[in-house]
Amino acid sequence: MQLDCTQTPDLMIVHLRETRLDAAGAIDFKDGMRDLTSADARRVVLDLSRVGFIDSSGLGAVVAVRKFLGPDRPLELAGLTAAVEKVFRLTRMDSVFIIHRNVPADAGSFRDVV
């Protein structure tokens, strides 16, 4: 599971460098997100712009990440492709997450966006 991170003093953007977030990768994704974020207290934005397909197991993993980050820094999402957006919309999870339309070119330009 390829995950890497762009950081600013108050924000971390985690880029998921995979084309699919599915049942075969959901556990690796959760573990990877936990490793990247557990020693940190900054807001987390998950960049999904590379992900062209998500299934309900992948969606469940994103919800699980939101839960372990806790209520004080709810997971934010950015760059949803059409298929991913469709799954979030049909399950009404688009009303639960803060979803940014675009992933910023650099974390600095994103600092004030809520």
Partner 1 sequence: MFRQMRAAFVMSSDERGAHTCIVIDADPMAVRQALCALFDRLMAGRMSADARDAAQIVLAEALNNIVEHAYAQSPGEIELTIDISARGLNCRIMDAGAPLPGVGVPVGELAPLRPGDDLPEGGFGWHLIRSLSEDLNYRREGERNLLSFRISAQQYPH
**Interface residue list for partner 1 (CB under 8 A):** 20, 22-25, 53, 55-57, 59-61, 63-64, 66-67, 82-83, 86-87, 89-92, 95-96
| CA pair distance 41, 110, nearest whole angstrom | 17
CA distance 97 to 111: 18
* CB environment 50-65: b (16+ within 10 A), e (fewer): bbeebbeebbebbebb
